[in-house]
A and B are shown apart, each in its own frame.
Chain A
Amino acid sequence: MSTGIGARVKRKEDKRFITGKGKYTDDIRGDNQAYAAFVRSPHAHARVKGIDIAAAAAMDGVIAVLDGKQLTGDGIGNIICGWAVSSKDGSPMNMGAWSALATDRVRYVGDAVAVVIAESPAEARLAAEAVEVDYEILPANAHADRALSKSAPQLHDNAPGNLIYDWEIGDGAATDKALAGAAHVTEMALTNNRLSPNAMEPRSAVAIYDASDEHYTLYTTSQNPHVARLVLSAFYQVAPENKLRVIAPDVGGGFGSKIFIYPEEITCLWASMKTNRSVKWTADRSEAFITDAHGRDHHTTAKMGFDKDGRIVGLKVDTIANLGAYMSLFSSSVPTYLYATLLSGQYNIANIHCNVRAVYTNTVPIDAYRGAGRPEACFVVERMMETAAREMGRDPAELRRLNFVQAFPHQTPVIMAYDAGDFDANLDQAMAAADVAGFAARRKEAASRGKLRGLGYSSYIEACGIAPSAAVGSLGAGVGLWESAEVRVNPVGTIEVLTGSHSHGQGHETTFAQIVAERFGIGLDAVSIVHGDTDKVQFGMGTYGSRSGAVGMSAIVKAMDKVEAKVRKIAAHVLEASEADIVIEGGQVKVAGTDKAMGWHEVGLTAYMAHNLPPDMEPGLKESAFYDPANFTFPAGTYICEVEVDPDTGETEIVQFTASDDFGTIINPMIVEGQVHGGIAQGIGQAMLEQVVYSDDGQLLTGSYMDYAMPRASDLPFFSVHNAATVCPNNPLGIKGCGEAGAIGSPPAVINAITDAIGNNNLAMPATPQAVWNAIQAAK
């Protein structure tokens, strides 16, 4: 059976997980292990007038009680947002100061003010409860739409009116003109609900300080250990990079929430030095709800204009984006460059304008969560398309088709240049698989059972493979977004690949090995993938934005190109042939058209023995590469959701969910389908179940699984997942990326289906039974 590109290879990494031998951060115990518990603000907004640690410090097992003044006094820097987004008037974004431990003011429920280090987690937690913080409670606001009002409390002195930036993209005047001349204008107010990422493994950190070497090791739940080390060193001044090793071992899901460097990791590293102990912190789920960066929370009004034939003439969008109490690492980019640049959808739209105001509120910071900006854009565009079709009496699929981009490359008015795609093919495939033709009969049959059946589309596009460094640099990114890889051929011919990508569920240990094994004609077991350790891997930007295939694998290909070049030289020398005649296949390095050959392992041995190498060739067989993509990639597809609603209760069942995706080249269809399943489940979760709710004064009302509804097996159907691909012309393997599509494409399909069923287009996410029932009553 083939194990190469396109093969459904079973995952190599599974064995340790199914036998309980995975090693997650909380499974690691340092020498001399101590435990941290944080003292957190119960108030959404308050001045810290004093901290009395006396009682806590005297408790059993307590090693130290440390606060923000000590932390900042030791020179630990403020937490930063690494992407500079300027307002339309040219002024820089208003980034408020965020100390890992608050010194004078707390701004959300959960903001940490002190940490207790103790001999056991229980002792640390008891002592943390005994730390007495004197708070002067201040007025608080949790809601984005109120943040800009004059009466809203001010969070940061340098952000008047709680405004972080007032940003725009596109030509406002031209768009207004286009809309003014439109035959039909659809106008909607749309909210993208606030979510908690909820990777099943709670965040954790084990910090180990070695005083003799002044060296730190941090085991942590990270999607990007090198970025963590860079930021911890360069900005938070925890330790220089050569004195800080960051290891992200097995990580139990990320979905964006483990990109960022949080107060807890910083504090554990610093506390390890202060106490000369290994310091471990592991969140419990309640703590995760008040510390893991939340996602989305957009409040948008939009107008889409059409000519008399149904062609879109303009799209105008105005969005208020809630970024919470502080600016998290990539927060600024999510409602701007990852959002508004996708507002053209799959469509030819000559005029687009989007204005975004990002605001502070007394809530957990908001940052990238699976899809990051693109689900928000897709929701706006695809809800508008479906609604417009209904208003104009047009078929929603045909309205989309009429407006699809047909020729590539296609430059949108909002930065992105789509490189390849066949949107008709995906729509056709999805419609056939979903049996759209038979829907009317199914609807009728459902009605005979008293159920309301509806069907909704979503034709999504996303920008992935994030991203060309120069391009994102020109847009304000504080880092380059290339990836690196190192391919080490051992003397016996086995191969280790060291990659800067990080696998936390994506199956890199299998898919990355597939491309290497195929390239050199060796067995999958002869290839090992090493990742997640800054002492082993040269550098890497990590895994997010569906980039590990398009960018991470491309770096491996580049390194393999170099290995192959050297192998050819060695073989040509040993076999006394021309380099051009060397072929690598079936575990052999051969001279084409002859019976002269060496085994793959012999090449490795030759390289390391160095007894018979070409003149001037260095011994060894190990190459590294950095790959910087030429463009984003543009996965796209059409999703069709079919629902049945119980009009008595508003309960909605997804009876069929069909996906047709274009991910470019697929290395392992089994894994790609798994990514789509998981993404769709999260999208359905957003559409029907999940919502972070704050009271007006900033108390979190959904602080556990008792109130935050996670999608369960019984909430979901089997998914009908299909693939109609065009090859991405901008990377060596033709990969587009698949990690986020499901979460991006599915929410509008679900809401379009439910609104179709109930005959009321006014329905916000999540469409809980109550919300659907209310919408049914309102339509009566």
Chain B
Amino acid sequence: MYPLKYHKAASVDDAVAILTKGDSAKLLAGGQTLLATMKQHLAAPGDLVDIRAIAGMSGIKAEGDTLVIGAATTHAEVAGNSDVAKLCPMLASLAAGIGDPAVRHAGTIGGSIANNDPAADYPAGLLAVAATIVTSKRKIPADEFFDGLFTTALEEDEVITSIRVTRPKRAAYAKFRQPASLFALVGVCVADGAGGVRVAVTGAGDDGVFRHDGLEAALAAKWSADAVKGVKVASDGLLSDIHGSAEYRANLIRVMAGRAVAAS
């Protein structure tokens, strides 16, 4: 770890102020990705702004059919929350499958989506249910938020405060894990919700999470596991690495989509 200055932000304004003034300042929530990156000297923020103590930053509430999940809410809290189980069980099971128990006790939904790791689970889940990301400045639709590998629509001085998810009619997430990291080699979220029928794919795209038109069209026509079997998933634009070729990932997208639909 390089030397740094730790700040415990008391409010969102406070956090924004330090972000703006600080030495390549970064926000800290669960730290489950950021601290590992810093330990390997792959990141060196001079200032770290801990947002977990900000009032209202964590916790889950239901506003009618909409879940409002604080940005600093841990994966364990999402996985075990009764409102999530009622309104969007897909999200609970997705959260229950992130990392391992100790990681889920610390890692947060806001941290996960701000990092937008191309193999993270939440981006697929939130894109599929057309979630809204609420920040210190604005409300960003998931379609606009996720913007490529480790890239989001967030500005330098912008802080995610909550995520809003409207109850989908049905949704499920199926993940095939990369055997070493346990991140998604391919994760597919299928949803019939606020954004219509959507199929969002993580782990596979060479530019991060994406929606698959062919699978969406098939499921819009008929919501069944059989419907996706006939869909041709092209390997163009898919990642190819030591854990999976683009062709293998393409196959997994189709298989995982089918399994997600069956589980929805």
| Direct A–B touching, Cβ under 8 Å | yes
Using a CB–CB distance below 8 Å, which chain A residues touch chain B? 122, 125-126, 129, 284, 286, 648-651, 689, 693, 701-702, 704-710, 715, 768-770, 773-774
With contacts A286-B40, A648-B255, A707-B242 taken as known, whether A773 is within 8 angstroms of B248 at the C-beta atoms is: yes
Measured in the bound complex, the distance between the Cα atoms of B245 and A154 in whole Å is 32
Give every chain A residue within 8 A of B3 (Cβ-Cβ).
122
- In the complex, the answer to whether A702 meets B242 with C-beta atoms within 8 Å is yes
Distance A126 CA – B41 CA, assembled complex (angstroms): 10
Known: A122-B1, A648-B255. A709 touches B242 (CB 8 A): no
**What residues of chain B lie closer than 8 Å to A649, measured between beta carbons?**
176, 251-252, 255
Contact A708–B180 (Cβ < 8 Å): yes
Q: Which residues of B contact A774 (CB under 8 A)?
A: 248
3 tightest A-B CB contacts, nearest first? A709-B180, A709-B179, A706-B181
* Chain B positions 144-171 with a Cβ under 8 Å from a chain A Cβ: none
The digit string for B221-255, where 1 denotes a CB below 8 A from any CB of A, is: 00000000000000000000011110010011001
Measured in the bound complex, the distance between the Cα atoms of B251 and A129 in whole Å is 43
Contact indicator A707/B252 (Cβ below 8 Å): no
Assuming the contacts A649-B252, A649-B255, A707-B242, asked whether A769 and B179 have C-beta atoms less than 8 A apart, the reply is yes
Q: Which residue of A lies closest to B40 (CB)?
A: A286
Chain B, range 174-198, C-beta contacts under 8 Å to A: 176, 179-181, 183
**Could you show 11 A-B contacts with beta carbons less than 8 Å apart?**
A648-B251, A648-B255, A693-B242, A706-B181, A708-B180, A710-B180, A715-B179, A768-B179, A769-B176, A769-B179, A773-B248
Beyond A650-B248, A704-B40, 12 additional pairs, beta carbon < 8 A: A126-B2, A648-B251, A648-B255, A649-B176, A649-B255, A702-B242, A707-B180, A707-B242, A708-B180, A709-B180, A770-B244, A773-B248
Nearest B residue to A648, CB-CB: B255
**Which of A129, A705, A768 sits near B181, CB closer than 8 Å?**
A705
Contacts of B179 in A (CB 8 A): 689, 709, 715, 768-769
- Chain A residue with the shortest CB-CB distance to B39: A284
Which residue, B39, B181, B245, has most C-beta atoms of chain A within 10 A? B181
Q: Which residues of B contact A129 (CB under 8 A)?
A: 41
> Chain A nearest CB: distance from B249 CB in Å?
9
Contacts known (A126-B2, A129-B41, A702-B242); A773 close to B251, Cβ less than 8 A: yes
* A707 adjacent to B181 (CB under 8 Å): yes
Closest chain A residue, CB of each to CB of B179: A709
Nearest-CB residue, chain B, relative to A773? B248
Write out the residue numbers on chain B whose beta carbons fall within 8 Å of the beta carbon of A125.
41
Would you give the 0/1 interface string for B9-20, flagging 1 where the beta carbon is closer than 8 Å to chain A?
Answer: 000000000000
Q: How far is the CB of A689 from chain B (nearest CB, A)?
A: 6
Q: Which residues of B contact A706 (CB under 8 A)?
A: 180-181, 183
Q: How far is the CB of B256 from chain A (nearest CB, A)?
A: 8
**A residues less than 8 Å from B2 (CB atoms):** 126
Neighbouring A residues of B244 by C-beta, 8 Å: 770
Closest B residue by C-beta to A715: B179
**Overall SS of chain A's interface:** loop
Taken together as a complex, chains A and B put the C-alpha atoms of A137 and B242 apart, in Å, by 25
**Contact present for A770 and B245 (CB under 8 Å):** yes
Q: Which residues of A contact B255 (CB under 8 A)?
A: 648-649
A648 / chain B contacts, CB cutoff of 8 Å: 251, 255
Q: Smallest CB–CB gap between B182 and chain A, Å?
A: 8
Interchain CA distance A770-B176 in the complex, whole Å: 11
**Shortest Cβ gap from B231 to chain A (Å):** 14
Residues of B within 8 A of A715 (CB): 179
Once the chains are docked, how many angstroms separate the CA of A774 from the CA of B243? 13
B235 to chain A minimum Cβ distance, whole angstroms, is 13
Assembled-state Cα–Cα distance A113/B69 (Å): 51
- Among residues of B, the one whose C-beta sits closest to the C-beta of A60 is B3
B21-55 interface code vs A (CB 8 A; 1 in, 0 out): 00000000000000000011100000000000000
Contacts of B41 in A (CB 8 A): 125, 129
- Which residue of the partner chain A has the closest CB to B258? A648
Instruction: Provide the residues of chain A in CB contact with B181, threshold 8 Å.
Output: 705-707
In the docked arrangement, what's the CA distance between A221 and B183, Å? 32
Closest to B176 in A: A649
CB distance from A251 to the nearest CB of B (A): 24
A702: which B residues are within 8 A, CB to CB?
180, 242
> How far in angstroms is the closest Cβ of chain B from A27?
20
Check if A705 sits within 8 Å of B180, measured CB to CB: yes
Q: What is the CB-to-nearest-CB distance from B6 to chain A, in angstroms, rounded to a whole number?
A: 15
Q: How far is the CB of B206 from chain A (nearest CB, A)?
A: 17
* CB atoms of A770 and B248 under 8 A apart: yes
A706 to B181, CA, bound (A): 4
Q: Which residues of B contact A651 (CB under 8 A)?
A: 176
Question: B121 to nearest A CB, angstroms?
Answer: 16
Cα–Cα, bound, A706→B185 (Å): 12
**A773-B248, A774-B248 known; A701 vs B242 contact (CB < 8 Å):** yes
A725 to B230, CA, bound (A): 56
Q: Which residues does chain A contribute within 8 Å of B252, judged by CB atoms?
A: 649
The complex places the Cα of A286 from the Cα of B39 at a distance, in Å, of 11
Q: How far is B42's CA from A286's CA once the two chains are assembled, in angstroms?
A: 13
User: Which residue of the partner chain A has the closest CB to B249?
Assistant: A770
CB distance from A198 to the nearest CB of B (A): 12
Residue of A nearest to B182 (CB): A712
The CA of A768 and the CA of B179, in the complex, are separated in Å by 8
Q: Nearest Cβ distance between residue A191 and chain B, in whole angstroms?
A: 15
Residues of B within 8 A of A701 (CB): 242
Q: List A contacts of B40 (CB < 8 A).
A: 286, 704
A501 to B52, CA, bound (A): 51
CB distance from B157 to the nearest CB of A (A): 29
Residue of B nearest to A707 (CB): B180
Rounded to whole Å, the gap between the CB of A732 and the closest CB of chain B is: 45
B39 neighbours in A (Cβ, 8 Å): 284
- Please report the C-alpha to C-alpha distance between residue A648 and residue B180 in the assembled complex, in whole angstroms: 20
A122, A125, A284, A768, most chain B CB atoms within 10 A:
A768
Min CB distance B263 to A, Å, is: 15
Closest chain A residue to B186, Cβ basis: A649
Nearest CB to that of B245 among chain A residues? A770
Query: Within the assembled complex, what's the spacing in Å between the Cα atoms of A689 and B242?
Result: 12
CB distance from A626 to the nearest CB of B (A): 45
Report the Cα distance A706→B41, complex, angstroms.
16
**Closest chain A residue to B256, Cβ basis:** A649
Shortest CB–CB separation between residue A772 and chain B, in angstroms? Answer: 10
Chain B residue at minimal CB-CB distance from A651: B176
Distance in angstroms from B188 CB to nearest chain A CB is 12
B80, chain A: closest CB distance, angstroms: 20
In the assembled complex, the Cα of A381 lies from the Cα of B41 at a distance in Å of 46
Docked Cα-Cα span, A649 to B186, in Å, equals 11
In the assembled complex, the Cα of A429 lies from the Cα of B183 at a distance in Å of: 41
Contact of A770 among B1, B180, B183, B243 (CB under 8 A): B243
List B contacts of A122 (CB < 8 A). Answer: 1, 3
B64, chain A: closest CB distance, angstroms: 39
Q: What's the least CB distance linking B187 to chain A, in Å? A: 13
Expressed in whole angstroms, the Cα–Cα distance for A626 and B176 within the complex equals 55
B107 CB to nearest chain A CB (Å): 15
> Residues of A contacting B1 with CB < 8 Å?
122
Q: Write out the residue numbers on chain A whose beta carbons fall within 8 Å of the beta carbon of B245.
A: 770
Chain A nearest CB: distance from B220 CB in Å?
A: 23
A702 and B41 CA atoms in complex are apart in Å by: 18
Closest B residue to A286 by CB, please name it.
B40
Closest to B2 in A: A126
Residues in B with CB closer than 8 Å to A707 are 180-181, 242-243
Q: How far is the CA of A701 from the CA of B240 in the complex (A)?
A: 13
The complex places the Cα of A67 from the Cα of B251 at a distance, in Å, of 52
Once bound together, how far apart are the Cα atoms of A770 and B255, in whole Å?
Answer: 13
Cα separation A129 to B179 with both chains bound (whole Å): 32
Beta-carbon nearest neighbor of A284 in chain B: B39
Q: CA–CA, A286 to B36, complex, Å?
A: 12
In the complex the two chains form, what is the Cα distance from A284 to B1 in whole Å? 13
Residue of B nearest to A711 (CB): B179
